Amino acid sequence: MKTALLVIDAQANMFDEEFCVYNAEKITKNICALIAKAREIGTHLIYIRNNGGEDGPDQPNTPGWEIHTPFAPLPEEKIVDKTSADAFENTDLQEILDKQKIEYLIIAGMQSEVCITTIGERAVALGYQLTLVEDAHTTFDFDDLRATDAIQTANEKFSEIASCKKTGEIFF
């Protein structure tokens, strides 16, 4: 079964010193490990990048919009730009997956309670097999939602509708 690794919203603004995602060092290490494994095996690697609004931290063509340096895509790797939480909406993601005959998606990145959950649920609804890498997604700590709770909720959801595995358990 052909597989793709989707690295979701792993953009520089998520790692800003003033407002950084939870557990950034561990998440960076794990996503880098997944990218290295995917490249070594020749697995398709697709970056999903959020195009934020004017004056937002991920406004297109600003430093925060760029893929975070440790995850930098190679020239031949695809970047799908999106304007909503759903990377299948108004993008060419499904066309890319269909053209490559991808049936199985492994997802990692940001933010657990928004884009990770939305993209994962949509992929499952579209018939893709899916694994959420449970120790390679994160979000921010907010006043009304702790990052650890959002991560746990996403892991529980995908354990029910797809699968969850740790970085070390992922084989392409």
Query: In the chain, where do the E strands start and end?
Result: 3-8, 15-16, 19-20, 44-50, 78-82, 104-110, 129-138, 163-165
In this predicted structure, the answer to whether residue 17 has a pLDDT above a threshold of 90 is: no
- pLDDT, tens digit, for every residue of 85-139? 999 999 999 999 999 999 999 999 999 999 999 999 999 999 999 999 999 999 9
Within 10 angstroms of residue 72's Cβ, the number of other Cβ atoms is 12
ω before 100 within 30° of 0 (cis)?
no
Banded pLDDT at 84 (limits 50, 70, 90): very high
| pLDDT at 160 (0 to 100) | 96
Of 3.30.1390.20, 3.40.50.2300, 3.20.20.70, 3.40.50.850, which CATH number belongs to 3-169? 3.40.50.850
CB-based contacts of 111, cutoff 8 Å, min separation 6 = 9, 14, 21, 138, 139, 140, 150
Integer-rounded Cα Rg, in Å, for the chain is 15
Which range in 15-24, 87-96, 140-149 is most confidently predicted, on average pLDDT?
87-96
Q: pLDDT tens digits for 155-172?
A: 999 999 999 999 999 999
List the chain domain ranges: 3-169
Please determine, for residue 5, whether its predicted confidence score (pLDDT) is greater than 90: yes
The answer to whether the CB of 115 falls within 8 A of the CB of 83 is no
Short-list 14, 15, 25, 26, CA closest to 168: 26
* 17 vs 58: which has the higher pLDDT: 58
* 8 Å CB contact between 71 and 10: yes
The dihedral through the CA atoms of 120, 121, 124, 126 has a sign that is: negative
> SS3 breakdown of the chain: % helix, strand, coil, rounded to 5?
40, 25, 35
Residue located via tokens 């730009």: 81
Q: How large is the average pLDDT for residues 3-9?
A: 99
According to the model, what pLDDT value does residue 18 have?
A: 85
Average pLDDT (64-89) is: 98
How do residues 25-68 score in pLDDT, each as one tens digit?
999 999 999 999 999 999 999 999 999 999 899 999 999 999 99
